[in-house]
């Protein structure tokens, strides 16, 4: 066990976001690689927007990806574990109040009774003068007597942190040296609102300090907050943790990843049949690489190789096509029984949606795994690939049955001949090898190109031009259903020639 302590601190104000999952993953990887401790803390102080449903979505979503934490709320119930609890900010209010009191007593923070109107008037004046927004320090130098007088007036007061002058510098593990002049921080900032609610900059530092966080690994969007946090760590008399700001995740047009341009909820990926192995593999490569060509890596393999200092600075484009490719690679690697198990809920959903007519048994799905395993970019594509097996009759456009080099009459002839040959072969010899031999012999005897005959049969029995291998498909469909579908397709194609 090392003394590394890292955390993910999601706000339960929305479903688990790809960016949060990536940040959680990198914290998890660093903790597991170093033998440290991974903590989950819920930043639920935005009471109006936080919900228990979002909280559950985040906790269960992270667990579903295999990202487990050592301290924090347990997924699935409201318990929590770890010696630094509570791990929900709303249950930590007394700790923030005590820390605020310490800063106030040391005159490192002061009450500010400026009204929203006064602040707004000042902001407008600055805007008109072309100055950057900044608290002018109206309440910073009030004497005790002046403060007391304002309190008597009944003015509610917020608490502002006194920003000391000077440059705040730190060595970010990803970004290198960062130096920001405290003068650019917008003046003394509010840490506790007039109604007593503590603000993010304050709670995050109090918690990171109290929880002994050694490395703050988070998105680059927080980089500009870090100087404020460093000043607060120092004011509270705590060691300043190391920082690692992860590159932004970008839409394909290189703007910051957004709901409008990309699918951002992890749940939505899971619902489409992206599997956890592929999601964590892909997320790990959003900002990190092995330094080799290798890109298909399990979570354990990534843990073994992960190096925080090898994280890139450049923004990482979220490329859905690449994720689909990777997902297909991972689906191929699944144990067939496991894949069959994972496909069943998708088939059930498709049944409810009416895309297939009946839910196959585990054994039926297991039997077709060899046909579909290499053809699924996502589990949710199962009915596109093999749904024709689980309907009475597939939708069929008879024109599609007619191969390019054939006409309708030849197709009627071909389907009829195939039907006869299969029937003559009998039910006993109905397997992929036997079917292939029979149908090849038929094509040869009739002087047809095998490809044309096979295409006509393929469309006739599945309704589609692209399917798993034909003879295995027929075998999966079975003797009687194959014959029935050939007969029906033949009738429909014959109808193509009928006068309108
Ligand atoms: N609740 C903050 C967020 O979700 C945490 C930021 C941090 O890691 O400091 O962005």
- Measure 273 CA to ligand 1 centroid, in angstroms: 28
d(CA 493, CA 396): 10
Classify the C-alpha dihedral 148-153-154-157 as positive or negative: negative
Contact 10, 25 (CB under 8 A): no
pLDDT in tens, 128-139: 999 999 999 999
Whose structure tokens read 């990536």?
Answer: 22
Task: Give the up-direction half-sphere exposure of residue 136: CA atoms within 13 A in the CB hemisphere.
Answer: 12
- Measure 284 CA to ligand 1 centroid, in angstroms: 19
pLDDT for residue 497 is more than 80:
no
For 50, 216, 287, 309, the CA distances from 219, given in Å and listed in that order, are 21, 10, 11, 15
pLDDT for residue 195 is more than 60:
yes
User: From the CB of 39, is ligand 1 less than 6 Å away?
Assistant: no
Average pLDDT of the chain is 95
* CA-closest residue to ligand 1 atom 6: 9
pLDDT at 458: 98
Sheet strands side by side (includes 158-161): 109-112, 158-161, 189-192
- Measure 14 CA to ligand 1 centroid, in angstroms: 13
Structure tokens belonging to residue 53: 């449903």
pLDDT confidence bin for 60, thresholds 50/70/90: very high
Answer whether 5-89+250-317 and 92-246 agree in fold.
Answer: yes
pLDDT at 25: 98
pLDDT in tens, 346-378: 999 999 999 999 999 999 999 999 999 999 999
pLDDT in tens, 407-466: 999 999 999 999 999 999 888 778 999 999 999 999 999 999 999 999 999 999 999 999
Which residue in the list 259, 261, 404, 449 is annotated as catalytic?
Answer: 259
Domain 92-246: what homologous superfamily? HUPs (3.40.50.620)
Burial track 367-384 (b if 16+ CB lie within 10 A, e otherwise): bbbebbbebbbbbbbbbb
pLDDT confidence bin for 59, thresholds 50/70/90: very high
User: From the CB of 160, is ligand 1 less than 6 Å away?
Assistant: no
Catalytic residue check, 259: yes
Query: Where exactly are the structural domains of the chain?
Result: 5-89+250-317, 92-246, 335-384, 398-497
Q: Specify burial of residue 306 (Cβ count, 10 A radius: 0-12, 13-18, 19+).
A: buried
pLDDT confidence bin for 216, thresholds 50/70/90: very high
User: From the CB of 11, is ligand 1 less than 6 Å away?
Assistant: yes
User: From the CB of 43, is ligand 1 less than 6 Å away?
Assistant: yes
The yes/no answer on whether domain 398-497 falls in CATH 3.10.110.10 is no
- Measure 23 CA to ligand 1 centroid, in angstroms: 10
| Cα-to-chain-centroid distance, residue 489 | 43
Could you tell me what percent of the chain has a pLDDT over 70?
Answer: 99
User: From the CB of 9, is ligand 1 less than 6 Å away?
Assistant: yes
Given ligand 1 and candidates 6, 11, 15, 257, which is best to mutate, with the most ligand atoms within 8 Å of its CB?
Answer: 11
φ, ψ at 316 (rounded to 5°) = -110, 120
Fold of 5-89+250-317: Rossmann fold (3.40.50)
């Amino acid at each position: 066990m090392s003394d590394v302590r890292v955390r993910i601190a999601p706000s339960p104000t929305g479903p688990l976001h790809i960016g949060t999952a990536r940040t959680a993953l990198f914290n998890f990887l660093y903790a597991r690689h170093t033998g440290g401790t991974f903590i989950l803390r819920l930043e639920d102080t935005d009471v109006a927007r936080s919900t228990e449903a979002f909280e559950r979505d985040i906790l269960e979503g992270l667990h579903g990806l295999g990202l487990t934490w050592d301290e924090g709320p347990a997924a699935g119930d409201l318990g929590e574990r770890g010696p630094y609890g509570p791990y929900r900010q709303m249950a930590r209010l007394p700790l923030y109040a005590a820390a605020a009191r310490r800063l106030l007593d040391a005159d490192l923070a002061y009450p500010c009774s400026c009204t929203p109107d006064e602040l707004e008037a000042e902001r407008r004046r600055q805007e008109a003068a072309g100055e950057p927004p900044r608290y002018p320090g109206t309440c910073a130098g009030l004497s005790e007597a002046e403060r007391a007088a304002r309190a008597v007036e009944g003015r509610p007061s917020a608490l502002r942190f006194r920003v000391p002058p000077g440059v705040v510098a730190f060595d970010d593990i990803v970004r290198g040296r960062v130096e920001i002049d405290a003068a650019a921080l917008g003046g003394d900032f509010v840490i506790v609102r007039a109604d007593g609610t503590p603000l993010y900059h304050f709670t995050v530092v109090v918690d990171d300090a109290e929880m002994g966080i050694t490395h703050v690994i988070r998105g680059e969007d927080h980089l500009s907050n870090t100087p404020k946090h460093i000043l607060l760590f120092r004011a509270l008399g705590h060691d300043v943790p190391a920082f690692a700001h992860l590159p932004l995740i970008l839409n394909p047009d290189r703007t910051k990843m957004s709901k409008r341009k990309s699918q951002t909820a992890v749940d939505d990926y899971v619902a489409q049949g992206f599997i956890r192995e592929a999601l964590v593999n892909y997320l790990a490569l959003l900002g990190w690489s092995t330094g080799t060509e290798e890109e298909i890596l399990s979570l354990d393999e990534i843990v073994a190789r992960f190096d925080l200092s090898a994280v890139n600075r450049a923004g990482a484009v979220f490329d859905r096509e690449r994720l689909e490719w990777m997902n297909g690679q991972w689906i191929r690697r699944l144990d067939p029984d496991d894949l069959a198990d994972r496909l069943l809920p998708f088939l059930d959903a498709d049944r409810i949606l009416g895309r297939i007519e009946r839910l196959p048994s585990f054994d039926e799905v297991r039997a077709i795994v060899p046909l579909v395993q290499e053809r699924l970019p996502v589990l949710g594509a199962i009915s596109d690939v093999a749904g024709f097996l689980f309907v009475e009759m597939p939708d069929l456009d008879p024109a599609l049955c007619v191969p390019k080099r054939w006409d309708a009459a030849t197709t009627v002839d071909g389907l009829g001949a195939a039907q006869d040959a299969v029937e003559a072969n009998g039910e006993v010899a109905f397997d992929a090898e036997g079917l292939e031999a029979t149908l090849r012999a038929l094509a040869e005897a009739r002087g047809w190109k095998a490809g044309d005959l096979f295409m006509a049969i393929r469309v006739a029995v599945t309704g589609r031009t692209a399917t798993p291998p034909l003879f295995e498909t027929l075998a999966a469909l079975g003797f009687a259903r194959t014959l029935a579908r050939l007969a029906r397709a033949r009738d429909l194609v014959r109808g193509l020639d009928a006068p309108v």
